[in-house]
């Protein structure tokens, strides 16, 4: 069977790219298609990708164009509709802001689309850049986005089946696309049980909190930093992004910026932290908090989006209800007031929650769904009842 995997863009490595990697593990013979591709921007993960058979769009082959994707977003339909998938039996698209679900396939090819989120900038959700604050850009954006919303809806009707990465995303698919979808949570790299088998040790040394995030506006890392400044707790910030210099400028002495770190370093940070903090608004799922749970870390997160599906109050963490330092501090005090016994229970429940989202669970559910859709498709093609 000839298989293609289509991914929005390969210029950074985040949660969506982790999904892509695991899809490629399930179907190692698959060709990969993308709009733009920069191997060096993937950091240490480029070793995973460099041997793939990657097909880059015409847009991605013109250096000056692909650096200006945001203002040239109106070209999106032309990018995806230029690919030819006629020789493939199965196409799986992995899509978010760049809308690669809009590729064109024809029967008997089956197209299954994994939706990370409908494009946030089209539907009023916070984005990494507050583009609305500049009048000319706002006028241009409102005009272009109107037509892109129309095309995004049209693109969402093209796949034979949609997969949502959370119940939150499923609700948005229903609202904006008027389509049903199947929820399959994204794969999280859950460490082996032996990694956290000694959680009882060194409880007193757990004197810092950690966050792992892209340093962009919608992640609201600034709230965590302001709270750390105000209440004088130790915070380690892992990640990079366009807001890094600003965040460093407002950070006090109890805050440490670590940038991108190796998997080994991150493992050590998780193992010795007290809890994971997360303040993102309307996060569709939130892989980083669940990854932290895999190391037995309780999560304190803003009660928004997919975090309400994975963080359970007073079981594996706490949800704070307002985007304020005070609301975050109230949740942190609940954690810090726990007895050692209760804290250890919370760590164990955090680990148990993470196991629901392991790579093995993801692979099993993807294979089951794909096989069922292929069976139905072939039955219809042969004229047999489904």
CATH label of the domain that carries residue 235: 3.40.50.2000
pLDDT at 68 over 90: no
| Number of domains comprising the chain | 2
Residues 230, 123 share a domain: no
Tell me which of 69-83, 103-117, 171-185, 272-286 is least confident. Answer: 69-83
Question: What's the rounded mean pLDDT across residues 134-153?
Answer: 83
Sheet with strand 317-320: strands edge to edge = 255-259, 234-238, 208-212, 275-278, 299-302, 317-320
φ and ψ at residue 260, rounded to 5 degrees: -80, 135
Question: What's the rounded mean pLDDT across residues 246-258?
Answer: 97
Residues 367, 317 share a domain: no
Question: What's the rounded mean pLDDT across residues 310-329?
Answer: 97
306 and 166 in contact (C-beta within 8 Å)?
A: yes
CATH label of the domain that carries residue 65: 3.40.50
Residues 112, 12 share a domain: yes
Place 386 in a pLDDT band, splitting at 50, 70 and 90. very low
Residues 202, 180 share a domain: no
Residues 147, 11 share a domain: yes
Question: What's the rounded mean pLDDT across residues 67-89?
Answer: 91
- Residue 183: which of 196, 193, 174 has the closest Cα? 174
Report percent pLDDT > 70 for the chain: 91
Domain that holds residue 68: 3-187+359-382
Task: Dump pLDDT digits (tens) for 214-249.
Answer: 898 889 999 999 999 999 999 999 998 889 999 999
| 163, 284, 336, 343 from 15: Cα distances, Å | 16, 11, 30, 28
Residues 275, 183 share a domain: no
pTM of the predicted protein model: 0.90
Residues 197, 165 share a domain: no
Tell me which of 45-49, 104-108, 159-163 is least confident. Answer: 45-49
Residues 62, 9 share a domain: yes
Residues 363, 352 share a domain: no
Question: What's the rounded mean pLDDT across residues 76-103?
Answer: 96
Q: According to the model, what pLDDT value does residue 336 have?
A: 93
pLDDT at 382 over 60: no
Task: Dump pLDDT digits (tens) for 4-18.
Answer: 999 999 988 888 999
Residues 38, 164 share a domain: yes
Task: Dump pLDDT digits (tens) for 169-213.
Answer: 999 999 999 999 999 999 998 988 755 555 555 565 678 999 999
Output the 3-class SS for the chain: CCEEEEECCECCCCHHHHHHHHHHHHCCCCEEEECCECHHHHHHHHHHHCCCCEEECCHHHCHHHHCCCCCCHHHHHHHHCCCCCCCCCEEEEEECCCCHHHCCCCCCCEEEEEECCCCHHHCCCCCCCCHHHCHHHHHHHHHHHHHHHHHHHHHHCCCCEEEECCHHHHHHHHHHHCCCCEECCCCECCCCHHHHCCCCCCHHHCCEEEEECCCCHHHCHHHHHHHHHHHCCEEEEECCCCCHHHHHHHCCCCEEEEECCCHHHHHHHHHHCCEEEECCCCCCCCHHHHHHHHCCCCEEEECCCCHHHHCCECCCEEEECCCCHHHHHHHHHHHHCCCHHHHHHHHHHHHHHHHHHEHHHHHHHHHHHHHHHHHHHHHHHHCCCC
Q: What is the mean pLDDT of the chain?
A: 90
pLDDT at 133 over 70: no
Residues 350, 378 share a domain: no
Place 250 in a pLDDT band, splitting at 50, 70 and 90. very high
pLDDT at 259 over 70: yes
Residues 221, 200 share a domain: yes
């Amino acid at each position: 069977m000839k298989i293609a995997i289509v991914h929005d863009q390969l210029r950074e490595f985040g949660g969506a790219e982790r999904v892509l990697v695991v899809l490629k593990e399930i179907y190692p013979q698959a060709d990969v298609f993308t709009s733009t591709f920069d191997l060096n921007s993937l950091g240490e993960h480029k070793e995973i990708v460099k041997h793939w058979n990657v097909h880059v769009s015409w847009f991605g082959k013109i250096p000056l164009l692909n650096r200006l994707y945001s203002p040239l977003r109106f070209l999106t339909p032309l990018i995806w509709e230029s690919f030819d998938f006629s020789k493939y039996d199965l196409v799986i698209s992995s899509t978010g802001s760049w809308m690669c679900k809009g590729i064109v396939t024809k029967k008997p090819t089956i197209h299954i689309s994994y939706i990370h989120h409908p494009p946030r900038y089209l539907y009023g959700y916070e984005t990494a850049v507050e583009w609305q604050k500049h009048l000319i850009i706002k006028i241009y954006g409102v005009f272009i986005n109107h037509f892109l919303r129309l095309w995004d809806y049209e693109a969402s009707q093209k796949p034979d089946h949609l997969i949502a990465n959370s119940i939150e995303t499923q609700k948005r698919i229903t609202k904006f696309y008027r389509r049903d979808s199947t929820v399959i949570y994204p794969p999280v790299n859950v460490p082996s049980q032996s990694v956290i088998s000694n959680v009882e040790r060194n409880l007193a040394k757990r004197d810092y909190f950690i966050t792992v995030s892209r340093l962009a506006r919608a992640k609201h890392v600034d709230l965590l930093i302001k709270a750390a400044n105000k209440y004088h707790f130790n915070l380690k910030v892992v990640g990079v992004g366009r807001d890094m210099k600003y965040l460093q400028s407002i950070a006090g002495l109890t805050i440490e910026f670590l940038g991108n770190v190796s998997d080994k370093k991150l493992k050590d940070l998780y193992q010795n932290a007290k809890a994971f903090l997360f303040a993102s608004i309307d996060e569709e799922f939130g892989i980083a908090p669940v990854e932290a749970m895999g190391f037995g870390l309780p999560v304190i997160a803003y009660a928004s989006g997919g975090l309400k599906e994975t963080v359970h109050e007073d079981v594996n963490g706490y949800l704070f209800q307002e985007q304020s330092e005070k609301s975050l501090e109230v949740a942190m005090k609940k954690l810090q007031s726990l007895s050692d016994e209760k804290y250890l229970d919370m760590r164990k429940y955090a680990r148990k929650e993470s196991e629901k989202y392991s790579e093995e669970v993801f692979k099993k559910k993807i294979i089951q769904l794909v096989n069922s859709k292929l069976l139905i498709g072939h039955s219809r093609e042969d004229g047999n009842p489904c």
